[in-house]
Amino acid sequence: MTDSDVVPFRVEVPQAEVDDLRLRLARTRWAPAQDLDGERGITQDEVRRLVEHWSGAWDWREHEAALNAFPQVATTIDGTRIHAVHVRAAREDAPVVVLLHGWPGSVVEFLRVIGPLSGTAHVVVPSLPGYGFSGPTPTGGWTSQRMAAAVAELMARLGYTRYVAHGGDWGSRVARDLAVVDPDHVAGIHVTMTNGLEPADGGDERAAERARRYAEELSGYFKTQATKPLSLAYGLTDSPVGQLAWIAERFRDWTDPASDVLGPQLLDLVLANVAVYWFTGTAGSSSQLYWERRAHPGDEWSTTVPTGVCVLPHDLRLPVRAAVEPAVNLVSWTELPRGGHFPGIEVPDLLVDELRRFLAQVWPGAPTDG
């Protein structure tokens, strides 16, 4: 095996690590209860409820089996292991789509999308460098542009000469950068966030209000991870409850209330996503992207690659068409009726339909249903 080889991969967490997680949860040292007013973060009662389920009925092996139900690969690119789910469609000439997660997401974010979408397209879902099974990265310097170059190399090694990239959160930036670093092979990009294309006047009232709330209430995590990600990593890597609370608060705050992502229907999937960070020890390496973005800013968008934007009404930030349209080759603009920051978990049916529609626009002959 050489570094350029692409080899089969399976998720196999040792039982000792699964047992250790339960022991750590049972021995949690809880913060003293206080009578506090106002919204100061996720409450202890809520975290205790999540921990009770995580350490009780929830079973990692079920989610490990769900991941391993899909073919997976690994290869070494630019000095680090790159992992991906890779599911081929029945039709050899089917379109190709790469699904890109962000923070605090993982390949788990797309488990409800991969099966239905693979009826239409070849599907590749990488773990971004430093995240999940592509981490921890051994060095720093992993900007979104460097990640895009790694994804482009992965797609080439998988034998794809043309593909469409979809992304949310940091995945939107990586998709954006793919259109710049690999334009000869990117047939189109489809994103849910358009950071860097905010209007000077704040845009429409709804987007401006969302931006104000983010700046005033929801952006503390960003400041910490962009300035002192290493200091934060010690606590998150040592305490599963710390890791859980840090991620669960984002799912609570960034999603459609109707999705109820911490409720009985979706909680197991959210906990599986948290467990990926825990078992791979990637709290620190995944946070580094925020530091890299601050140290190496850049918001270059392709003006030639066909671009689609999908607006989720409860997302963290809302794209504004008046700012986006002059900056990119905008061929598609969709505003979904529901959903938030994690559409693959919240509204997988709507996301699959939207991706099929976009593929049909930019890939001649692509089917519009499965």
Which residues are known catalytic residues?
A: 169, 290, 341
The angle that helices 267-280 and 60-68 make with each other, rounded to 10 degrees, is 80
DSSP string covering 44-105: HHHHHHHHHHHTTT--HHHHHHHHHTS-EEEEEETTEEEEEEEE--SSTT--EEEEE--TT-
167/295 Cα distance (integer angstroms):
22
195 phi and psi, to 5 degrees?
-55, 140
| Residue type present at position 369 | D
305/299 Cα distance (integer angstroms):
15
DSSP 8-state secondary structure symbol assigned to residue 134: G
259/343 Cα distance (integer angstroms):
10
Beta strands in the chain (DSSP E): 7-8, 72-77, 80-87, 96-100, 122-126, 163-167, 186-191, 306-311, 329-335
223/290 Cα distance (integer angstroms):
8
The angle that helices 15-26 and 60-68 make with each other, rounded to 10 degrees, is 140
90/115 Cα distance (integer angstroms):
12
